[in-house]
Amino acid sequence: MLSKDGGPLIVGIGGTVRAGSTSERALVKALAVAQAAGARTELFGGEFMAALPIYNPQEPGEHAGRDLFLEAVRTADGVIVATPGYHGSLSGLVKNALDSLEGLRDDPRPYFDGRAVGCIVAATGWQACGSALAALRSIVHAMRGWPTPLGATLNTAMGLFDTGGDFTDRRDAWQVETVARQVVAFAKVWRG
């Protein structure tokens, strides 16, 4: 999904190898809110991330998908990352995608520098939500990003989506919407 108007570019990173995963569905909803707030968006979901090679600092090499991903983040005004919470942390798939951003190390704006980064975690249970969110926010800090004040934690044990694809709990929708709005608001300020 890439909108073409002149608003800030928000890149979405997340999901799992399972089509229609909860974390990717939440990310798609966040990007829709970002678009409604005037942003252009680009999604790098689970299918894309599954095709990325395992990050190897000794052999960065060229890879068409990774190069496309690096260019999108390089030009992004903001980022939203959505991960499942696996065993108390983020998924290996999402971590590998974030590790692949090492290719931005020598850029004028390295990694996530000068970008707001929204964090969304979908996990079975509140403990996994909290620990995965803390890990993701730490990674964003390490990559010089600005995590938004709110990070969304979505407990999948509660059942997140109805048959129409909407959040079953208004609080979950509010969290995802707020994260997206915060990323766009910060992106507009920094872009100006």
DSSP string across 138-184: HHHHHTT-EE-S--EEEEGGG--B-TTSSBSSHHHHHHHHHHHHHHH
Residue 114, CA distances (Å) to 74, 75, 104, 159, 167 in order:
11, 11, 13, 35, 31
Name, in order, each residue with C-beta under 8 angstroms of 191's C-beta and a sequence gap of 6 or more: 8, 77
CA angle 130, 135, 136 (to 5 degrees): 100
CA dihedral 148, 190, 46, 177 (to 10 degrees): 50
Per-residue pLDDT, averaged over 30-48, amounts to: 97
Q: Residue 190: exposed, middle, or buried by beta-carbon count in 10 A (0-12, 13-18, 19+)?
A: middle
The SS3 assignment for 186 reads: helix
- Looking at residue 167, its pLDDT comes to 95
Whether pLDDT at 95 is above 90: yes
Q: Would you state the pLDDT for residue 3?
A: 45
> What is the third-level CATH fold of 9-191?
Rossmann fold (3.40.50)
pLDDT band, residue 60 (cuts 50/70/90): low
CA separation for the pair 160, 148 (Å, rounded): 22
Task: Tell me the pLDDT tens digit for each residue of 13-26.
Answer: 999 888 889 999 99
What's the CA gap between 105 and 143, in Å, rounded? 9
Domain boundaries, the chain: 9-191
Which residues are within 8 A (CB) of 32 and not within 5 positions of it... i.e. 6 or more apart?
none
Query: CA 145, CA 115: separation in Å to the nearest integer?
Result: 6
Q: Taking the complete model, does pTM exceed 0.85, yes or no?
A: yes
Query: Span 132-138, mean pLDDT?
Result: 97
Considering Cα of 88, then 89, then 92, then 94, what sign does the dihedral take? positive
pLDDT for residue 64: 85
Share of the chain above pLDDT 70, in %: 96
Give the integer Cα–Cα distance in Å for 144 and 117. 10
Residue 13: per-residue pLDDT = 98
Q: Which of 113, 129, 143 is nearest to 171 (CA)?
A: 129
* The pLDDT value given to residue 52: 94
